[in-house]
Structure 1
Amino acid sequence: MMQFSVTTLSGKKTSAYMLALAMLLGSGAQAQKKKQAPVNNQPVFTQFVYQGDDQIYKDHPLKEGEFYSPVLQGCYPDPSITRKGDDYYLVNSSFSMVPGVPIFHSNDLVNWKQLGHVLDRPSQLKVEKAGISAGIYAPDIKYNKYNNTFYMITTQIAGGIGNMVVKTQDPAKGWSDPIKLQFDGIDPSLFFDDNGKAYIVHNDAPPKALYNGHRCIKIWEYDLEKDAIIPGTDKVIVDGGVDITQKPIWIEGPHLYKKNGRYYLMCAEGGTGGWHSEVIFVSNDAKGPFVPANNNPILTQRYFPKDRANKVDWAGHADLVEGPGGKYYAVFLAVRPNDKNRVNTGRETFMLPVDWSGEFPVFENGLVPLKPAIKMPAGVVNQQGQNGFLANGNFTFKDDLTAAKPDFRWIGVRGARENFITTGKNGVTIQPFPVTIKATGPTSTLFYRQQHASFDATVKLSYAPRSEKELAGIVCYQKETYNFVFGVTTKGSDRYLVLEKTANGESTLLGSVKIAAQGDIRLKVAAKGDAYTFSYAMDNEQFTSVGGTVSGDILSTDVAGGFTGALIGLYATSANDVLIP
């Protein structure tokens, strides 16, 4: 994805993050209130089944002592990781998804469970009017052993919040309300020194921009008692990147570490697209001067043929942690393009072992084409998909949607799930909002991330719309201006199933079919790489396609823009605008 700068009102240059914000917030639709007026005849969804079918996992079954990377498939970008004893915690960017900042726990770096979300209350998250790629950027999680406190620091590009921090002494028991931090820029990260001092490093505009994409890394001293930066302590510690004479772009995502008495600053460089990489610097003082390693970048996928098989690309934005037995590991983002080189699953969380026996950390196989499996830490048993641990590879996720509290993998966009769903023994009832999926505001849609290039997802729907303004069904959603709607509506006294495509804000009806006036219907979306199909079945009949095979290119980051991956949604609206001829 191309990276370029934009001049803000303050005259500063900022990254593509901020450009995306400007475009997305200007798309015009208004956010809805938290509670909508109820309507009668609400759709009920049940028996959701999602099944992955990627060829790479068929061709590369796990061997003894291996586990798959990415460890979190689908839109789980910008990972950050920390450790307390034998407990590891990992967080990801969530942009305008609600709840915000998914948090995961492991005791061995292989088997992960989702604890919930860091930002799970309206007082913490203000994304109701934000575009899908605004909201929460690049969270950093750190444990401070000196006060037994966990911190999550991030940039919330919404609600006038900006850079903020929340904290807790137990990540499983909830986090504080945000504490607003008084500095500009994005991607803040905390560092706790062994002398009790604390620092924040972050991306910012340079004192004087010399070229397009010129950024810098700043450091501040941080007051742990006041939870505030100490005014006047800021300093630019990296200007431009590894070698400013080469005009490096988008130095960001910084993390500061200390090992053997020296300070290491690791950053992403090159933008979030094809030139993405990870670089590292060293200093004898937390505030520099920092000297780049001679072997930068230490992680990238940018030097390999574009048409290579099983391509992993855009690798960078990494974080390090000391794992079992003193062995280091890194989490980072990368993408797995499909057969048409589209990025529908978005930026995912990958992992690699790291050799830090020398002066600088070395990502093991981080400078060759990434493989689907890596070696497990010694003595670990792979329990993925069992005992409550998340699965990866080709897995099946089944949910009858009757649980009192939805699985953490179900999310809203811009609005909380609880504002439009009711669970019961028959499934989940969605209260339709009087807005469509095209609104830049909360919609009545329950989302699940697309986690494979090839997959199918089915759901059973009980619904009898009473007007042409009512529709319920499945959506495949990249953003408000790029999506598919596959739903049940009505025309006159007849019930119809329609398939609509919206690309760059322009909607096209791809197919429609009259269906039985009564009875439950099963809806399915399936993909084989770029080829998507939408089909339905009544009772126990075979599935019938509507609209034929269509390209899924509009669900790709590199077509739709932004920073998220495709979502599969259970959708209802009382403002349907799909016209049946």
Structure 2
Amino acid sequence: MHTPDDRLPESQANDWYYDNPVIPGLHPDPSACRVGEDYYLVCSSFEYFPGVPIFHSRDLVHWRQLGNVLDRPSQLPLPPDAAASDGIYAPTIRHHDGRFWLITTNVSHGGNFIVTAERPEGPWSDPVWIDLPGIDPDLAWDEDGNCWCAFAGADGPAFHGVRIARVDPEAGKVLEGPFPAWAGTGLQWPEAPHLYRIGQWWYLVIAEGGTERGHTVAVARARSPRGPWEAAPNNPVLTHRSTNQPIQSTGHADLVTTPDGQWWMILLGTRPRGYSPGFHVLGRETFLTPVRWEDGWPHVGPVNLRERAPGPPRPLEVEPVRDDFDAPVLAPRWISPRSRPDDAWSLTERPGWLTLRATGSTLDRPGCTFVGRRQRHQDSRTAVLLDPGSGRAGLSVRMDEAHHYDLEVADGQVSVIARIGPLRQSTATRPVPPGPLVLTITTRPAAQRPPAEGEPSGLHVAAPDFIAFHVGDDPLPLAELDGRYLSTEVATGFTGRVIGMYVTEGTAWFDWFDHEPLDVPRGS
């Protein structure tokens, strides 16, 4: 959040501004609700465990992670071989009748389900499965207490627009429908529906055009959830397609109001960099933008990197960038692919250290021991203090099993290993002394890096960033790799980079982990 700037026009001198995204890194498909003066927000988590991070804010700008809604294996049954970018899709969070309700889809096991909690930090219930097809479910209640579920109807690969059913959310039973609601304006993949009762109208907000650069937000309204639905004359109400806006892929939106009646939209977007077609590496992030109403329809956008805030900042306590592993449990920001078996990690075996034990022999297949954090800064520094013992362990930048860069220590050597699609190559190796050592990975804009001797002309322009690997206090990197190969445009899918600690042989120990913006001086 920025304080008022004396250089701003006098009419803006008492305004507050914030920077987008409000939740950076892999936090897509946001959904939010307000309870009094508090806001709560959830995001998709895909193949990662624990699932569905939940955040709290007092101003819609500063968000603190409270925990994860799906923090037990009984809530998040993922097959050991669940594909990357499968798992949990597009949750919706609502507060009704004194309880928090969350509905989402496990596309790898079971389909749509509901969990509830008395408090947002949990504990959340085990799933109540609901016999509805499709993805991206939503919940809304009418004045008679009926619960309506809107979802993106699907039959295999074919989408049929948004459908709506009246449901019993306690029992997971369909009481009426589902019946066709609205197929959108004709663009592909009409999905991500959210249903609202506003005044005398029901509004249906959806995403269209695919979650890539053609993403849009469209709106329709009706007098009843049963329809008929009338499309907004200004559809799409928001899109950045075919523009030079630094934020792209804007869509999958949810509406929220402030206590004083202001309307805001929470949505996803990306920040591509590099030469055409551009590459986004952090995944789809959470953005915030104001909404105005004209003639009974919402008007939005464009979404800017800097926006006027809803009001004075009310920041919450923020987790430190450094984790010394002194707490009795792992902080909620730590995630692992598919599962995190209890016998694979410990915070008590060696107090003050995170102990990791190998459960798989390679990061190239599911089943490995990996504990990581979403990369939150485009230009970043991530460092760990590793005691590898006699095992094989390191620090990895991960998109999926086929796209990751590893800084690995084993057999008295440190290596940089690149896995890009079917290719796996060790790009640099150096002997290291036994005992603990610091491993550091930095990401920085390609434009700041002059081309190395012998590199093809223009290579430094095309990449979104370069990823450098350092050992100890050596200022020269052991290797520096093109970041485009760890982007969604290359790896495909719906996720972004996660930087984490791993072990693929034996046992290793990690004393601390730092992840911070690159321009923050070390030790600050």
Which of the five TM-score ranges fits, normalised by the shorter chain? 0.7 to 0.9
**Pair 1:564 & 2:495 matched:** yes
- In the TM superposition, what is the alpha-carbon distance from 1:327 to its structure 2 partner? 0.4
Query: What CA RMSD, in Å, does the superposition of the two structures yield over aligned residues?
Result: 2.2
- In the TM superposition, what is the alpha-carbon distance from 1:113 to its structure 2 partner? 1.8
**Pair 1:526 & 2:442 matched:** yes
More strand by percentage? 2
Distance in 1 between residues matched to 2:287 and 2:370, nearest whole Å:
28
**1:281-320 alignment runs, 5 A limit:** 281-305=220-244, 311-320=246-255
Alignment partner of 1:72 out of 20, 23, 27: 23
Instruction: Read off the aligned partner of 1:99 and give its amino acid letter.
Output: P
- In the TM superposition, what is the alpha-carbon distance from 1:357 to its structure 2 partner? 5.4
Percentage identity across paired residues of the two chains: 33
**Pair 1:216 & 2:161 matched:** yes
Distance in 2 between residues matched to 1:407 and 1:556, nearest whole Å:
26
Could you tell me whether the CA contact under 8 Å between 2:69 and 2:122 is conserved in 1?
no
Residue 398 of structure 1: aligned partner: 322
Residue 332 of structure 2: aligned partner: 408
- In the TM superposition, what is the alpha-carbon distance from 1:342 to its structure 2 partner? 1.3
Distance in 1 between residues matched to 2:279 and 2:91, nearest whole Å:
26
**1:101-180 alignment runs, 5 A limit:** 101-127=52-78, 128-144=80-96, 147-159=97-109, 161-180=110-129
**1:432-471 alignment runs, 5 A limit:** 432-441=358-367, 443-465=368-390, 470-471=391-392
Alpha-carbon distance change, 519 to 574 in structure 1, aligned in 2, over 3 angstroms: closer
TM-score when scaled to structure 1?
0.78
TM-score when scaled to structure 2?
0.86
Distance in 1 between residues matched to 2:142 and 2:399, nearest whole Å:
41
Alignment partner of 1:484 out of 400, 405, 410: 405
* Higher RCO by CA contacts (8 Å cutoff, separation 6 or greater): 1
Distance in 1 between residues matched to 2:139 and 2:251, nearest whole Å:
19
Residue 521 of structure 2: aligned partner: none
Could you tell me whether the CA contact under 8 Å between 1:476 and 1:484 is conserved in 2?
yes
**Pair 1:191 & 2:140 matched:** yes
Residue 519 of structure 2: aligned partner: none
Residue 513 of structure 1: aligned partner: 430
Secondary structure class of the residue paired with 2:297:
coil
Name whichever of 450-459 and 399-408 sits farther off: 399-408
Instruction: Read off the aligned partner of 2:251 and give its amino acid letter.
Output: G
Secondary structure class of the residue paired with 1:356:
strand
Could you tell me whether the CA contact under 8 Å between 1:215 and 1:249 is conserved in 2?
no
- In the TM superposition, what is the alpha-carbon distance from 1:435 to its structure 2 partner? 2.8
**Pair 1:553 & 2:484 matched:** yes
- In the TM superposition, what is the alpha-carbon distance from 1:574 to its structure 2 partner? 1.4
Could you tell me whether the CA contact under 8 Å between 1:67 and 1:382 is conserved in 2?
no
Distance in 2 between residues matched to 1:176 and 1:214, nearest whole Å:
30
- In the TM superposition, what is the alpha-carbon distance from 1:508 to its structure 2 partner? 1.0
Any unmatched runs of 5+ in structure 2? 1-7, 446-464, 508-524
Name whichever of 181-190 and 412-421 sits farther off: 412-421
**Pair 1:98 & 2:49 matched:** yes
Secondary structure class of the residue paired with 1:133:
coil
Secondary structure class of the residue paired with 1:318:
strand
Residue 280 of structure 1: aligned partner: 219
Alpha-carbon distance change, 225 to 461 in structure 1, aligned in 2, over 3 angstroms: closer
Distance in 2 between residues matched to 1:381 and 1:264, nearest whole Å:
30
Residue 335 of structure 1: aligned partner: 270
Any unmatched runs of 5+ in structure 1? 1-59, 391-395, 577-581
Instruction: Read off the aligned partner of 1:237 and give its amino acid letter.
Output: A
Q: How many residues align?
A: 472
Alpha-carbon distance change, 574 to 486 in structure 1, aligned in 2, over 3 angstroms: same
Distance in 1 between residues matched to 2:256 and 2:153, nearest whole Å:
25
Alignment partner of 1:373 out of 297, 306, 311: 306
Alpha-carbon distance change, 420 to 575 in structure 1, aligned in 2, over 3 angstroms: closer
Alignment partner of 1:271 out of 190, 210, 227: 210
